[in-house]
Amino acid sequence: MSTPPTAAAALATGDVVEVEVGPVAHGGFCVARHEGRVVFVRHALPGERIRAQITEAREGHRFVRADCIEVLEPSPQRVTPPCPYAAPGLCGGCDFQHADLGYQRDLKASVVREQFSRLAKLDVEVSVEPLPGDRDGLGWRTRVEFAVDETGRAGLRGSRSHEIIAVDSCLIADPRVLATGVLTQDWSGESAVDVAAPSEGEAVMVSVPSGEADVPVLTERVAAQSFSGAFEVSARGFWQVHPGAAATFVDTVTGMLAPQPGETALDLYAGVGLFAAALAQRVGESGKVVAVESDTGAVASAAGNLAAYPSVAMVRARVDDAFGVPRAHRSGPARNRAQRSRKLRRHPLLPLRADLVVLDPPRTGAGRDVAAQVAALRPRAIAYVACDPAALARDTAFLAEAGYHLAELRAFDAFPMTHHVECIALFERTSA
């Protein structure tokens, strides 16, 4: 009698297996197989033969996770990681330090193509472009959140773990972050400490929870080819962490949309108003920009950042709420779910028609309902800024259902040494 596949492939945490590594997968892993069981392995590269130690094996799952602990046949693109903490069992912040920087971008492009093929049923040609100011993929991260261990020392978390790894340095952090002395101070009594190094002024440290009551406001200056301006941002608020990102993304979005004087534009998930300001400058006083953002702190910052643009209207709301999308699918007590199932009233500042839309949603994406509402505005162009290619690919399919096709796609290495990649997509109305 043959052994059942599940029994043959039984693996437990701590087991060591020898595997041949297959393609890269979304999330910083590569795919391997052991006796029919899928193994998602970190610190490996496609084509390598390795020994991997199982780090996660859950009953009933068809896959396990593992770390490469020995390379038997290395890839030609393998390099020695510049950081000693970029190794199995240590810091989880960097996924690809063991790969040549150019090859890292090839891997990310492969992930983008695979997500579009699988989720949007599209074959896309895309390469991952470096951002201006890149220095061998190091020293770029201007905002870092450090966890604090039981001894009061700041460190970084392991991959898919709450374990805090004590570190002496972080090579992807902006040198100004480390110059604050965050890694040498005693943070006893705190759970975390955020460090932000803005484009103007000194780097600041904000501890959590004691620093939550008085968070500094920083100035970030954007000097793009198409737009320039200064933005006030909370030290704990969202801002692009790569110093070349904001200007590059503004130029890309405005280049794709080509805003014209007098047009109406929506900036959805507007943050502190970066894209809204750039759009307002282009559509002029005869045009209109409606910016929608739910975060209270971001809205407060945006109000000041956009005060010089009379054509901008700021809406503090969730994007789906602003469109009046029913919320029956959300979790919560039964009574609350019933209340949420009632159709919400569309926000009165949201126009019924728009010429242009910018979507810059969180990692989860915009979703089918928002995609449908955006399409119902019948814009001539939609620019979608995405930090997760899987969410973008899903929403590409939703926009296609609603009558909009992918017209252009670019990808940027806004997070070198990690698996993350920023994509900007242009959608246009599909002809009848």
AA identity, residue 252: T
Backbone phi and psi for residue 408, each to the nearest 5 degrees, phi listed first: -160, 145
Question: Which residues is 50 bridged to in the sheet?
Answer: 19, 71
Tokens linked to 111: 């992930």
What number of other Cβ atoms are within 10 A of residue 388's Cβ?
21
Confirm whether residue 373 is marked as ligand binding: no
Query: Torsion over CA of 372, 374, 376 and 380, rounded to 10 degrees?
Result: -130
User: How far apart, in whole angstroms, are the C-alpha atoms of residue 202 and residue 297?
Assistant: 21
User: How far apart, in whole angstroms, are the C-alpha atoms of residue 183 and residue 160?
Assistant: 22
Please say if 91 is a catalytic residue: no
Catalytic residue selected from 30, 170, 387, 423: 387
List CB contacts of 3: < 8 A, sequence separation 6 or more. none
Look at the chain and count its residues. 432
Question: Which residues is 190 bridged to in the sheet?
Answer: none
User: How far apart, in whole angstroms, are the C-alpha atoms of residue 425 and residue 394?
Assistant: 13
Confirm whether residue 240 is marked as ligand binding: yes
Question: Does residue 209 have a cis peptide bond before it, meaning omega lies within 30 degrees of 0?
Answer: yes
Asked whether 358 and 268 are in contact (CB, 8 A), the reply is: yes
Nearest Cα residue to 276 out of 255, 300, 303, 296: 303
Query: Torsion over CA of 306, 311, 313 and 319, rounded to 10 degrees?
Result: -90
Helix (H, G, I), strand (E, B) or coil at 240: coil
Tokens linked to 272: 């502190």
Confirm whether residue 269 is marked as ligand binding: yes
Query: Torsion over CA of 320, 326, 329 and 333, rounded to 10 degrees?
Result: 110
Binding-site annotation, residues for S-adenosyl-L-methionine: 240, 269, 293, 360
Give catalytic residue positions. 387
Residue ranges of the annotated binding site are: 240, 269, 293, 360
